[in-house]
Amino acid sequence: MLPYICIWLAARDLIAVAPDWTRAAGIERYGWMAFATAVGGIVVYFCALMCTHLAAFRTASNIRKTGMAHLMKTPLGFFDSNASGLLRNRLDGAAGETETLLAHNLADIVGTAAMFLSTLVLMLVFDWRMGAACLLAAVVSVAAMFSMMGGKNAKLMAEYQAAQDTMSKAGTEYVRGIPVVKVFQQTVYSFKAFREAIEDYSAKAEKYTVGVCRLPQAVNLTATEGAFIFLVPVALLLAPGALKSGSFALFVTNFAFYAVFSAIISTALARIMFAASGMLLAHTALGRIDEVMNAPTLEITNHPQTPKDNGVEFKDVSFTYDGAEIPALDHVSFRVEPGQTVALVGPSGGGKTTAASLIPRFWDVSSGMVEVGGVDVRQTDPHVLMDRIAFVFQNNRLFKASILDNVRAARPDATREEALAALNAAQCGDILASLPNGADTVIGTEGTYLSGGEQQRVALARAILKDAGIVVLDEATAFADPENESLIQKAFATLTKGRTVVMIAHRLSTVVNADKIIVLDAGKVAEEGTHDELVAAGGLYARMWADYQKAVSWKISA
Ligand code: ADP
Ligand code: MG
């Protein structure tokens, strides 16, 4: 504010000596003072911004750290329905969005408040009538601003923002669906939901902007940019009285003061508007951060027990997915002795994958107990549990790293030789031979991509290297062409030798030699026994086996 005061002082001196301008002595001094204080203001503002930015970046980085630390504690199954990349993006973006408020708006809010208060005092010091006229402009504009946000209009604004949210979600769905649109030769119009979301948004946006905002915003801008509208008429009214009382020079000086100061008002009000939008942004960002922070976490025991052996036992286990009505597993009990191979079979949706994912605690049971080595998995140290279990699931992720590093992810301290031996045991020789840099080739670069069956074998090498006592695997022969399949079977044989194995079998030919077969149907154990026992029993398994044999003997005849 000091530069403005200096300018006003210069104006006052000029007016006092008018029209003999050369007699004004202090002008140059005021000019330099205005310059110095303006530069000083910039320096102080710069220092303030340095401080607020440091604080804002630290806050954002703390949000990211806390959020990531929280995500590390969520059950792995959580990432099935919440892609980890999406979560990271959401957290990262939301943390970044708090920056505007903390780094910029906070400094502006303080500056604006100080400016407002001192303006208020100065206004009333010189001539309260002209001061009141300037303040009236500010009051009118603030009132117009609030009328856009209050009462019934707040509901309209909420609707408008909800429509925007819906539209962006529908947009994501649309982009995901593009392959389907192309394959089935659909037009964009077939995405009714997206189209309706856009139309709804456009209607709501128009309703809010034209219906609610147009008039108040016009009033607001007019009042802030043209405080003169109020000042000039008041000055004209007061001028005759000042002429009569002989204090006209003082009157003109005061008028100059208010003319200069009314310019500050619009700057201050514009900053308040920016601050309001910064607050809104930070508020929605915090909402998204909360969503991440509200993700469920695995409970970690303070008194971990060590599993005694490699047996696995389900004791009356029930499990219902979040939001599902029917339990995916319903009072399931079975036991896998150390070193045994147990196969889970049954119709699709029977609960095989769910049962397998309860063993490494991808989820925790809703009731009952899953035991590994005679200890409830919830009573073990998660690291100890993970060290004991190797799992190969259908959707194995390979990292964008060299094949060697992908395998070593299971045991980072393994030597190169050990990793190569594991790759060899997993029948990956042909994959390595076909890659430009062998095991050092980085997957996903320079056109090196692996087929589903090949990825499966690398994942098996990873599990072999881990050398865990318990192996949980989804026998995923789904992608495998015949050539891959025989290699995968060989890799399976190496992986499962001498270990406790819980396998989800899709092809019944692989379960014939299992020590025990558990048939899961609609979340319940329908049957349990060896292949021969179950075929003899003539139940669900016997029917599946008969179907399977029919399918295997099918031929395309001439
Ligand atoms: P299977 O592997 O035998 O085909 P699953 O264990 O995958 O069967 O599924 C068992 C039941 O749980 C099914 O009804 C399925 O729809 C449901 N289900 C599976 N995964 C989820 C999930 N992430 N959220 C909700 N329900 C699920
Ligand atoms: Mg499954």
Q: Which atom of ligand 1 is nearest to the CA of 344?
A: 3
Greater pLDDT, 512 or 55: 55
What pLDDT does residue 188 have? Answer: 62
Separation between Cα atoms, residue 293 and residue 455, nearest integer Å: 33
pLDDT at 65: 94
- How many A from CA of 355 to the centre of ligand 1? 10
Report how far ligand 2's centroid is from the alpha carbon of 353 (Å).
4
282 and 104 in contact (C-beta within 8 Å)?
no
**Index of the ligand 1 atom closest to the CA of residue 354:** 6
- By three-state DSSP, how is residue 394 classified? coil
> Minimal CA–CA distance to 519: which of 224, 511, 65?
511
* Ligand with the closest atom to the CA of 348: 1
Q: Is the pLDDT of residue 365 over 90?
A: yes
Q: Which atom of ligand 1 is nearest to the CA of 523?
A: 10
CA 348–ligand 2 middle distance (angstroms):
7
Distance, in Å, from the CA atom of 319 to the CA atom of 321, rounded to the nearest integer, reads 7
pTM of the predicted model over 0.85: no
Q: Which residues surround ligand 2, an ion (CB under 5 A)?
A: 353
Q: Which residues contact residue 517 at a Cβ distance below 8 angstroms, ignoring those fewer than 6 apart? A: 342, 343, 345, 511, 527, 528, 529, 530, 531, 534, 541
Residue nearest to atom 17 of ligand 1 (CA): 328
Q: How confident is the model at residue 252 (pLDDT cuts 50, 70, 90)?
A: confident
Q: What is the pLDDT of residues 521-534, one digit of tens each?
A: 999 999 999 999 99
pLDDT at 161: 80
pLDDT of residue 189: 64
Residue 258 and residue 122 in contact, taking contact as beta carbons nearer than 8 Å: no
Using the mean position of ligand 1's atoms as its centre, give its distance from the Cα of residue 366 in Å.
15
| Residue of 320, 326, 353 with the most ligand 1 atoms within 8 Å of its CB, for mutation | 353
Q: How far is the CA of 284 from the centre of ligand 2 (A)?
A: 37
Q: Which residue has the higher pLDDT, 222 or 261?
A: 222
Phi, psi of 244 (to 5 degrees): -65, -40
Q: Above pLDDT 90, what percent of the chain?
A: 31
Query: Phi first, then psi: what are they for 231, rounded to 5°?
Result: -70, -45
Task: Give the number of the ligand closest to the Cα of residue 363.
Answer: 1
Rounded to the nearest angstrom, the distance between the alpha carbon of 72 and the centre of ligand 2 is 25
Among protein residues, the one whose CA lies closest to atom 15 of ligand 1: 349
What's the rounded mean pLDDT across residues 23-42? 90
Within 13 Å and on the Cβ side, how many CA atoms surround 34? Answer: 15
Q: What is the pLDDT of residue 53?
A: 93
Are 349 and 329 contacting, i.e. CB atoms less than 8 angstroms apart?
Answer: no
Q: Would you place residue 493 in the very low, low, confident or very high pLDDT band (cuts 50, 70, 90)?
A: confident
Per-residue pLDDT of 269-289, as tens digits, reads 777 777 877 887 888 888 888
Instruction: Tell me how crowded residue 77 is: count the other CB atoms within 10 A of its CB.
Output: 20
Q: What pLDDT, on a 0 to 100 scale, did the predictor assign at position 479?
A: 56
| Cβ contact 112:275 at 8 Å | yes
Cα–chain-centroid distance for residue 305? 35
